[in-house]
């Protein structure tokens, strides 16, 4: 992962806390002495406990067969909790509208082991946001966000667990104290004690522990995480047995000061990404300050990408398009696969790094096939096989949906589901 990456993954919690202070995240000194280095809320609010399922909400939620319906004004988490207790309900269907948290906490929606196997799906245009300006502190840097993550997938979530069809936005680097809102029931088990990445990574979605959800047909837009993974952070903690599946998704304008502007795959994690668009996602925005203050660096010359894959992790990426990001992909894992992907002009850096932007930075490029690359630097390490890929390729001629119109691109890259291919 580079100097700062290995330092972050293996250093003491004290070092992690110091790092987070540089990112304007309030971290208690006392917490740094504990195993997980819990952060305090930057806002110091009057916290409330998690909402219970009231009889009023139970009566209003409509159930038809295996489907439980949630309409504007009703609570999605109540629907998930009711479905988790029911042998009959498998799908929680959320109808058109904007849904936001009503109280400060670690997550707006949470899937724990008891929610495993449920499907949360949108009906019509549904936005899930981490913002609530009526509740948030107006002086907090995280305003108007009031949750660390919009959705949390915790330990014990199977690959049958699915979220589909939502637009997710409004994560803005909020941090909430775990002692006031216990998010992970298995957090006392070996290997599952929360650390700072658990709190600070993954603005829209955090995946933690033995958790293998399917995330499909989603749009992640304008999310910011206070450390890494502006949209999604995957932290499997080296547990094996599955992978996160992300397909038919759009990642646009997600940012973070560290690594993985759109998706961050932490050490010992696994992900499959299929038919996704990565557009204008920007990482690296706080690394210069970290280097100045603490002498820690990560990819100091060129920075990280829209997708970051850490050592000991594996990514399988197919039929995806990366364009307009600050770097495409940096992958220090092994046995990763990139197939039928377009990397086009990922040069949205701010000039703070001495090196030029790149399309792909990969150690083990044996799994890179039929990818089309053009940018300031196509292949940073020179590891990509020229005979089975296309380097310095011609303009794909994207339309407004980022479907390439150039004939040679007809079998590669992202295709939106609504477009006739």
For residue range 134-159, list pLDDT tens digits in order.
999 999 999 999 999 999 999 999 99
**Average of per-residue pLDDT values in the chain:** 85
**Residue 32: which pLDDT band, with cuts at 50, 70 and 90?**
very low
CA distance 201 to 208: 11
CATH topology of domain 54-409: Pectate Lyase C-like (2.160.20)
What count of other Cβ atoms lies within 10 Å of the Cβ of residue 35? 9
pLDDT of residue 28: 27
**Residue 177: which pLDDT band, with cuts at 50, 70 and 90?**
low
CA distance 45 to 54: 24
**Residue 97: which pLDDT band, with cuts at 50, 70 and 90?**
very high
- DSSP letter at 81? H
- 32-41, 228-237, 337-346: the lowest-pLDDT one: 32-41
CA distance 229 to 395: 29
Q: How much is the CA Rg of the chain, to the nearest whole Å?
A: 21
CA 120 from chain centre, in angstroms, equals 18
Phi, psi torsion values for 280, nearest 5 degrees: 60, 40
Q: 170 near 129, Cβ under 8 Å?
A: yes
pLDDT of residue 95: 98
What residue ranges do the domains of the chain occupy? 54-409
CA 122 from chain centre, in angstroms, equals 19
Q: In 216-339, which residue ranges form alpha helices assigned H by DSSP?
A: 287-294
What's the whole-model pTM score?
Answer: 0.86
pLDDT of residue 295: 52
**Of 95, 40, 45, which Cα lies nearest the Cα of 67?**
95
Q: What is the mean pLDDT of residues 92-104?
A: 97
What count of other Cβ atoms lies within 10 Å of the Cβ of residue 399? 10
For residue range 60-72, list pLDDT tens digits in order.
799 999 999 999 9
Q: What is the mean pLDDT of residues 401-411?
A: 97
pLDDT above 80: residue 44: no
For residue range 6-27, list pLDDT tens digits in order.
333 333 223 333 333 333 333 3
What's the angle, vertex CA 151, arms to CA 244 and CA 82, rounded to 5?
105
β-partners of residue 342 are 321, 372
CA distance 133 to 306: 29
pLDDT above 50: residue 98: yes
Percent of the chain residues topping a pLDDT of 90 = 71
């Amino acid at each position: 992962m580079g100097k700062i990456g290995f330092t972050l993954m293996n250093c003491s919690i004290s070092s992690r806390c110091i790092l987070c202070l540089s990112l304007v995240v309030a971290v208690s000194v006392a917490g740094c002495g504990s195993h997980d280095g819990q952060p305090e809320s930057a806002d110091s609010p009057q916290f409330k406990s998690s909402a219970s399922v009231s009889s009023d909400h139970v009566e209003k939620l409509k159930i038809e067969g295996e489907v439980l319906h949630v309409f504007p004004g009703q609570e999605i988490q109540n629907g998930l909790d009711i479905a988790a207790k029911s042998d009959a309900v498998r799908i929680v269907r959320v109808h058109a509208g904007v849904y936001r948290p009503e109280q400060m906490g670690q997550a707006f929606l949470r899937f724990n082991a008891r929610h495993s196997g449920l499907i949360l799906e949108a009906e019509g245009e549904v936005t899930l946001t981490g913002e609530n300006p009526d509740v948030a502190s107006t002086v907090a840097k995280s305003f108007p966000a009031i949750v660390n993550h919009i959705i949390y997938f915790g330990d014990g979530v199977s690959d049958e667990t699915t979220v589909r069809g939502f637009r997710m936005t409004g994560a803005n680097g909020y941090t909430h104290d775990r002692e006031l809102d216990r998010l992970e029931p298995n957090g006392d088990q070996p290997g599952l004690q929360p650390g700072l990445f658990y709190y600070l990574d993954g603005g829209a979605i955090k995946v933690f522990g033995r958790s293998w959800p399917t995330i499909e047909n989603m749009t992640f837009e304008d999310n910011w995480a206070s450390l890494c993974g502006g949209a999604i952070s995957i932290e499997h903690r080296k547990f094996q047995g599955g992978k996160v599946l992300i397909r038919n998704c759009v990642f646009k304008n997600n940012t973070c000061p560290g690594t993985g502007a759109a998706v961050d795959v932490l050490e010992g994690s696994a992900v499959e990404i299929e038919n996704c668009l990565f557009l204008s996602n920007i990482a690296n925005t706080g690394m210069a300050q970290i280097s100045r203050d603490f002498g820690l660096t990560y990819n100091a010359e060129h920075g990280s990408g829209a997708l970051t894959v850490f050592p000991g992790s594996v990514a399988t990426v197919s039929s995806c398009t990366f364009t307009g990001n600050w770097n495409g992909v940096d992958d220090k894992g092994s046995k990763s696969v990139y197939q039928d992907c377009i990397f086009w002009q990922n040069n949205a850096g701010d000039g703070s790094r001495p090196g030029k932007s790149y399309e792909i930075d990969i150690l083990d490029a044996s799994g890179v096939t039929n990818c089309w690359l053009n940018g300031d630097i196509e292949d940073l390490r020179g590891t990509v096989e020229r005979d089975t890929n296309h380097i310095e390729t011609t303009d794909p001629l994207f339309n407004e949906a980022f479907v390439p119109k150039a004939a040679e691109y007809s079998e590669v890259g992202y295709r939106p589901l609504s477009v006739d291919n």
